[in-house]
Amino acid sequence: MSRAQEMIAIMSRSGWRITDQRRTLAKIFTDTDGFLSPKDVYEQMKEKYPGVSFDTVYRNLRMLSEMGALEQFYFMDGGLKFKGGCHHHHHHHLICMNCEETVAFEYCPMDEQIRLPGNFKIVNHRFEIYGICERCQEDGVASGQA
């Protein structure tokens, strides 16, 4: 099953009507390996659907993230960005602050016994580590500033 088909299946299971616009949205993330800002997605969507509003695109991105079809990340310099989600297994990410290369890693800190205050029940969690990848280090990038 392709990433677009996986996204469409998640939409369908969540009770969404599968429209041509939503198929296009899934295709945008299938055709892109990297991260997309809401503005990036809006710009691509309005090429095919000139009447689409930014609010509609943004709301769909947030809902797709909540249902697990997309992963969302917050970059200090670039703000909120989205990427097609990996639905096969639980993992976390190392993210280069310069080139945005993302490397999945399997270790989950939540597997360790942690003490939380009160009677807090964890429902979900995310864990990302931001730094500079090996390639950018070799190119002389010392921090998240390119």
Of 61, 20, 16, nearest to 38 by C-alpha is 61
Binding site listing for Zn(2+) = 96, 99, 133, 136
Q: Is the pTM of this model over 0.95?
A: no
The mean pLDDT value for 71-81 works out to: 79
Q: Which residue has the higher pLDDT, 109 or 143?
A: 109
- Flag whether pLDDT at 77 surpasses 80: no
Reported confidence tier of residue 144, pLDDT bands at 50, 70, 90: very low
CA distances from 64 to 28, 91, 113, 120, 132 (A): 13, 18, 31, 26, 28
pLDDT tens, residue by residue, 91-138? 777 888 888 887 877 777 777 777 778 888 777 777 788 889 899 999
Binding site listing = 90, 96, 99, 125, 133, 136
Burial class (CB in 10 A: 0-12, 13-18, 19+), 45: buried
Per-residue model confidence (pLDDT) at position 15: 92
pLDDT tens, residue by residue, 34-74? 789 999 999 999 999 999 999 999 999 999 988 888 888 88
How is domain 3-84 classified at the architecture level of CATH? Answer: Orthogonal Bundle (1.10)
Listed by start position, the domains of the chain span: 3-84, 92-138
User: What CATH superfamily is the domain 92-138?
Assistant: Ferric-uptake regulator, C-terminal dimerisarion domain (3.30.1490.190)
Binding site listing for Fe cation = 90, 125
